[in-house]
Structure 1
């Protein structure tokens, strides 16, 4: 990368860019994570006990999760639900991305992208709250379904995880569409036409031609969507029921309601490890590297 920057901007500018990037990574990523790890390994002590004989590293905070069956169940439920959000977002985004990249005219593609982007000019909390209104027991969706005679009584869409899943798919759909769009757009259309000429149907063409070519985009979209879903707080807090808590809500409670930053840091670090593990699994599954994803 440094060599490419030197060729484009010259030596001094390239060194300045790399230097600023390293400073940003160290100050904003590395040091906060190291501090979080340090917090997670120490007990929650009173100010006058800090530095005393009880102030030492241990794995007690991490063991708390595995000793608490409720928190452990919420942890695995967050893992499964985040995977489900990722799969649903991929299923919704793939046809849209393919249409924008290979079927729509430039004008149609620009209009569709504009319609997709405009709602995201609004704050995420406001967008999530709009889904709370739509899915409410006496909200517009229930009124439409009642008017059409599709249901006999209002449905409690927000009772369980359904509202959270819908809200998350909507909230993170662009993070799946854009990587897919960029990957599919680079596919030579002659390959698709050749597959059709040789007798391949639509499903087989996508399975054998389009999807293998779009693997970096699929991997990038899945990684971004999963990490955002697993780390989301606003969507489950607004659209979830009391029985559909997210692991991030437990972390929030440890930090800001329980006042135990050390325990919260341990839970947050476990969530980070989960996200890194998922990222590694996706990269291995799709046989792509960081260089492929960065494209």
Structure 2
């Protein structure tokens, strides 16, 4: 038995330790690895009716991946520009939502982590309570707020800022705000957990040495909070790129999300292999982008797990 496993069982007890290991294995293998492998297998299969599955025509093929790039055979365009544009726009929008959330959440996390008092608990509770409501209901609430006759347009037209109601939904403002709001806690609390352990004396020492506030954050707080920032940005980016409910409810006519294409392939077209190929491409691309950014900012995988 490996030493690390012996230490784990001796520390937690043989019975509870085996139960925890079993649950982790079930979660990792049964709910993550095996479904992804099944999806990967589907992505290389042709779209056949059930009686022909497993027959001579059911062979591995790259046609589902070629479709994303080139589109249907005999199409009017050399490349599948529609799906490719939706794919790249989804990635760029998810990155923008991640940066927007980081800019908004970093000051909040810093305030929560470096301020003492009972009012901080109230503040944290006020952040959590809205998330007791289902995500879909929150998305519909935001659609009402950003609608042409919604709260924002009523206020802006009432004070004379707009002559006519502004279409926040068609211009994607509602979608980006909804995605940012949906995952804001996933950015705040990882950063807060790290900043809370930062010795406030380091900040006071930097102030005593005459460092301006921006240099204190750039040289002291942000390097220390890098694990929380990495974890929050990873979760927000991955979930934003894979979101479905918010784009369906808050997206305008021209703001098609790549996950909506995947949904259409699975449900509307009943083309599971094509939908699986699109899902695999999205997953692999997001993982590679996250790894590339981590390498760029010199963040280790262990930092995200802290």
CA distance in 1, matches of 2:137, 2:82: 30
Which of 202, 208, 211 is 1:197 aligned to?
208
> Post-superposition shift, 1:290?
2.8
> Post-superposition shift, 1:95?
0.6
Partner of 2:58 in structure 1?
Answer: 55
Partner of 1:240 in structure 2?
Answer: 251
Tell me the SS of whatever aligns to 1:118. helix
Partner of 1:42 in structure 2?
Answer: 45
Superimposed CA distance per residue, residues 48-100 of structure 1 (whole angstroms, 9 cap, x where no aligned partner):
22122221001110111111110010000000000000000000000100111
Aligned pairs, number: 294
1:91 maps onto 2:103 in alignment: yes
Tell me the SS of whatever aligns to 1:38. helix
Tell me the SS of whatever aligns to 2:45. coil
What runs of 5+ residues in structure 2 fail to find an aligned partner?
71-79
Contact 1:145 1:151 in 2 (8 A): yes
Partner of 1:163 in structure 2?
Answer: 174
TM value normalised by structure 2: 0.93
CA distance in 2, matches of 1:208, 1:141: 39
What is the root-mean-square deviation of aligned Cα atoms in Å?
1.3
What runs of 5+ residues in structure 1 fail to find an aligned partner?
none
CA distance in 1, matches of 2:50, 2:13: 52
Contact 2:43 2:277 in 1 (8 A): yes
TM value normalised by structure 1: 0.96
Which of 246, 251, 254 is 2:265 aligned to?
254
> Post-superposition shift, 1:267?
0.3
- The structure 1 segments of at least 4 consecutive aligned residues displaced by more than 4 Å after TM superposition are none
CA distance in 2, matches of 1:203, 1:2: 45
Contact 2:110 2:195 in 1 (8 A): yes
1:80 maps onto 2:124 in alignment: no
CA distance in 1, matches of 2:26, 2:134: 29
CA distance in 2, matches of 1:180, 1:278: 21
